[in-house]
């Protein structure tokens, strides 16, 4: 039976109560460090910080509805070799799922980290968040949750969470060592902390928190949330498939793409150390451009735009966890997340794979069996 | 039908299908001129982007052909190729490519006649399919 405890809410302040919890964890949880998003002096943004001093958690705010990067990328940096200590990392469900993909690709290890996942109600885009937060990010976080508790959902002050979040059917970090629960929990009184693994148990056992059980209504509320998101997601699949149904349509879908490759840089599971599109393979001979242009009398510059996106779909759609950082990073508002998630749905279904679900499932393109997919082999005579 | 002559790009492995093609040649079997062969050390080296690039450039079909399962000189390159073809057949049709434009076959080194027959059939099938529309839709 998993340990479930209450994180008490003091002064009706979710943010500072959670900070107290993290401070206690850093003192008494048997860890050497904690990675958590903090506002830092900028106030209207958050960034992951690696903290060893409990007194340096005064602007920690993992509930801020924004995540400028998918932090799986920095956890991968922390864990590619032995870390020399144990670090608890506070992540969103999609960050945990991306990290699981990276571990399977040998770009991270779980040995030295304890994964703390928070129920995720979504995040605003990097561009919108500063306007929402104003000059007091922590106060803005409280406003966001007050809005939700009042039944007004995630749209607040004219802003709303990103399409990736609306389409995400994994709001609960099932595969975290410690889950911090918000959905269906009485946030006026407490948050839930639930240990799913022995590692998680160890972290919680010395914090002196009173034990509880998951509230009845939590299951139902999660189900409701997931149902809403699935219906948004499925509609998105239909619309995106329609909008890209042939190469002509795809060309216009990507019409504003400037080949900056920000989407690739922001993508936590685009795993190549050196992307082929940045190598001299794509430094074409100048005379080649002229030959290409001559074929039809016209050539769009820069070249290779559709090629880039289709290749990325082939290379990593089976690992896409739908975080939406690609769209977040695009300077030209191209709905890249919609395209990738839609294709990822089809490729993952084809291989009966769910990216980020478990360390046990083999990534589809890393395993192969003698006796499979006979239907794609044509007979020779 | 028409006078449409398809262009087919074939990625063939050095040890099996390429050898079979050679054999077909020395046996003076007739082979269509539509197939442009690219010799690879193994079908396991065919990255999906090679296939995507060929189709975006207007190839009417892409063939990948290597050793029969169990015969790959690098043990299992052909099984990797098969997963990648499965992947491509999932992705490409969603952007309007007929999945028959991507073919995977196993043709062993001694199967020269099979090679010639398979090429002739492939060309006939692609003639039937007609030209790859991408030629019209892409400005690269
Ligand atoms: S493709 Fe986009 S949504 Fe998918 S994992 Fe990468 S950044 Fe996230
Ligand atoms: S971030 Fe946007 S503009 Fe840049 S390569 Fe990706 S889709 Fe194109
Ligand atoms: S060597 Fe022929 S397919 Fe691998």
- Cβ contact, residue pair B140, A314, below 8 Å: no
Banded model confidence at residue B140, pLDDT cuts 50, 70, 90? low
DSSP A361: S
Size of interface A-B (CB pairs under 8 A): 123
Take residue A202 and report the two structure tokens written for it: 């160890």
The pLDDT of residue B139: 65
The 3-state DSSP class for residue B67 equals coil
Domain limits, chain A: 4-231, 256-376
pLDDT at A190 over 70: yes
Query: Looking at the domain that runs over B8-136, which CATH code has it been given?
Result: 3.40.50
Q: Residue B61: how many CB atoms within 10 A of its CB?
A: 25
Are B65 and B52 in contact by the 8 Å Cβ rule? The answer is no
CA of B88 to the centre of ligand 3 (A): 19
CA distance A292 to chain B (A): 8
Write out chain A residues lying below 8 Å of B82, CB-based: 368, 372-373, 376-377
- Residue B42 near chain A (CB below 8 Å): no
Full 3-state SS string of A103-139? HHCCCCCCCCEEEEEECCCCCCCCCCHHHHHCCCHHH
Are A35 and A75 in contact by the 8 Å Cβ rule? The answer is yes
- Residue A106 region by backbone torsions, left for phi larger than 0, else alpha for psi between -120 and 50, else beta: left
Query: Which is it for the CA torsion A188, A129, A174, A229, positive or negative?
Result: positive
Percent of chain A with pLDDT over 70: 100
Take residue A310 and report the two structure tokens written for it: 């289709």
User: What ipTM was estimated for this complex?
Assistant: 0.96
Write out chain A residues lying below 8 Å of B8, CB-based: none
Work out the burial of residue A207: count CB atoms within 10 Å of its CB; fewer than 13 is exposed, 13-18 middle, 19 or more buried: middle
CA distance A306 to chain B (A): 8
Banded model confidence at residue B135, pLDDT cuts 50, 70, 90? confident
Give tens-digit pLDDT for B35-83.
Answer: 999 999 999 999 999 999 999 999 999 999 999 999 999 999 999 999 9
Residues paired with A193 in a beta bridge: A5, A180
CA distance B137 to chain A (A): 5
- How many angstroms separate the CA atoms of A229 and A344, rounded? 17
Give the global pTM. Answer: 0.96
Task: Residue window 135-164, chain A: list those with CB within 8 Å of chain B.
Answer: none
Give tens-digit pLDDT for A265-321.
Answer: 999 999 998 999 999 999 999 999 999 999 889 999 999 999 999 999 999 999 999
- Residue A303 near chain B (CB below 8 Å): yes
CA of B96 to the centre of ligand 3 (A): 30
Banded model confidence at residue A1, pLDDT cuts 50, 70, 90? low
Take residue A311 and report the two structure tokens written for it: 């290749």
Residues paired with A116 in a beta bridge: A90, A178
CA of A240 to the centre of ligand 1 (A): 15
pLDDT at A40 over 80: yes
- Residue B95 near chain A (CB below 8 Å): yes
Take residue A30 and report the two structure tokens written for it: 């048997």
Best A315, A345, A368, A371 residue to mutate vs chain B (most B CBs within 10 Å): A368
Q: Which atom of ligand 1 is nearest to the CA of A164?
A: 3
Q: Which of A95-99, A360-364, B95-99, B131-135 has the lowest mean pLDDT?
A: B131-135
Nearest to A18 by CA among A235, A203, A181: A181
Peptide bond into B109 cis (omega under 30): no
Task: Residue window 56-75, chain B: list those with CB within 8 Å of chain A.
Answer: 56, 65, 69-70
Nearest to A369 by CA among B76, B72, B47: B76
Best B93, B95, B111, B113 residue to mutate vs chain A (most A CBs within 10 Å): B95
Q: What is the mean pLDDT of residues A332-361?
A: 97
Please give the order of strands across the beta sheet that includes A47-51: A4-8, A190-195, A178-181, A113-118, A87-91, A33-38, A47-51
Query: Which is it for the CA torsion A220, A224, A226, A230, positive or negative?
Result: positive
Beta strands (DSSP E) in B1-101 are 8-13, 35-40, 61-66
pLDDT at B2 over 70: no
pLDDT at B3 over 90: no
């Amino acid at each position: 039976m998993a340990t479930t405890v209450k994180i008490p809410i003091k002064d009706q302040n979710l943010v500072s109560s959670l900070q107290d919890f993290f401070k206690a964890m850093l003192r008494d949880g048997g860890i050497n460090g904690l990675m958590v998003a903090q506002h830092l002096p900028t106030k209207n943004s958050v960034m992951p910080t690696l903290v060893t001093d409990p007194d340096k958690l005064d602007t920690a705010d993992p509930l801020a509805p924004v995540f400028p990067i998918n932090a799986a990328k920095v956890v991968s940096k922390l864990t590619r070799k032995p870390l020399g200590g144990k670090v608890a990392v506070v992540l969103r469900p999609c960050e945990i799922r991306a990290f699981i993909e990276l571990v399977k690709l040998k770009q991270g290890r779980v040995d030295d980290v304890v994964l703390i996942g928070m129920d995720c109600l979504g995040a605003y885009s990097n561009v919108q968040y500063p306007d929402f937060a104003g000059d007091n990010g922590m106060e803005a976080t409280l406003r966001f949750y007050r809005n939700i508790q009042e039944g007004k959902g995630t749209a607040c002050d004219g802003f709303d969470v990103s399409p990736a979040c609306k389409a995400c059917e994994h709001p609960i970090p099932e595969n975290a060592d410690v889950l911090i629960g918000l959905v269906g929990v009485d946030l006026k009184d407490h948050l839930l902390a639930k240990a799913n693994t022995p590692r998680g148990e160890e972290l919680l056992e010395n914090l002196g928190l009173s034990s509880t059980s998951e509230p009845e209504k939590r299951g139902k509320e999660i189900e409701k949330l997931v149902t809403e998101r699935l219906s948004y997601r499925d509609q998105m699949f239909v619309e995106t498939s329609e909008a890209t149904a042939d190469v002509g349509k795809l060309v216009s879908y990507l019409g504003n793409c400037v080949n900056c490759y920000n989407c690739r840089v922001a993508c936590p599971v685009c795993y190549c150390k050196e992307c082929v599109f940045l190598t001299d393979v794509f430094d074409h001979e100048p005379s080649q451009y002229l030959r290409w242009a001559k074929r039809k009398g016209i050539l769009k510059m820069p070249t290779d735009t559709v090629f880039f996106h289709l290749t990325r779909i082939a290379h990593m759609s089976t690992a896409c966890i739908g975080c939406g950082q690609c769209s977040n990073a695009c300077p030209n508002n191209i709905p890249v997340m919609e395209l990738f998630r839609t294709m990822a749905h089809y490729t993952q279904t084809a291989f009966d794979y769910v990216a980020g679900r478990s360390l046990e499932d083999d990534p589809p393109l890393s395993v192969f069996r003698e006796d499979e997919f006979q239907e794609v082999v044509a007979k020779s005579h | 039908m028409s006078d449409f002559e398809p262009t087919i790009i074939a990625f063939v492995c050095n040890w099996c299908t390429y050898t079979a093609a050679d054999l077909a040649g020395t046996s003076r079997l007739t082979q269509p001129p539509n197939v442009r062969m690219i010799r690879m050390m193994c079908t396991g080296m065919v990255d999906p982007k090679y296939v995507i690039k060929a189709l975006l450039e207007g190839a009417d079909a892409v063939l990948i052909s290597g050793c029969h399962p169990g015969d790959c000189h690098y043990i299992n390159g052909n099984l990797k190729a098969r997963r990648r073809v499965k992947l491509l057949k999932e992705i490409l049709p969603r952007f309007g490519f007929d999945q028959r434009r991507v073919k995977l076959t196993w043709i062993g080194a001694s199967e020269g006649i099979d090679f010639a027959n398979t090429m002739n059939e492939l060309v006939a099938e692609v003639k039937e399919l007609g030209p790859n529309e991408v030629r019209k839709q892409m400005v690269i």
